[in-house]
Amino acid sequence: MRILFIGDIVGRSGRSILLDRMPQLIADWTLDLVVVNGENAAGGFGITEAIYNDIIDAGADAITLGNHAWDQREALVFIERAPRLIRPINYPPGTPGRGSAMIDTRSGKRALVINAMGRIYMEPLDDPFSAVERELAACPLKEGADAIVVDMHCEATSEKQSMGFLCDGRASLVIGTHTHAPTADHRILPGGTAFMSDVGMTGDYQSVIGMDKDEPLGRFIRRIPQGKFETANGPATLSALAVETDDATGLARRVGPVRLGGVLEEARPTFWD
- Catalytic site positions: 68
Nearest to 149 by CA among 250, 39, 230: 250
- Residues pairing with 4 in the sheet: 34, 242
What is the rounded distance in angstroms from the CA atom of residue 203 to the CA atom of residue 45? 13
What is the rounded distance in angstroms from the CA atom of residue 130 to the CA atom of residue 1? 27
C-beta separation of 5 from 151 below 8 A: yes
Give Cβ neighbours of residue 256 (< 8 Å, ≥ 6 apart): 186, 241, 242, 267, 268, 269, 270, 271
Phi-psi region of 54 (alpha: psi -120 to 50; beta: other; left: phi over 0): alpha
What is the identity of the amino acid at 52?
Y
What is the identity of the amino acid at 217?
L
- Per DSSP, 34 falls in state E
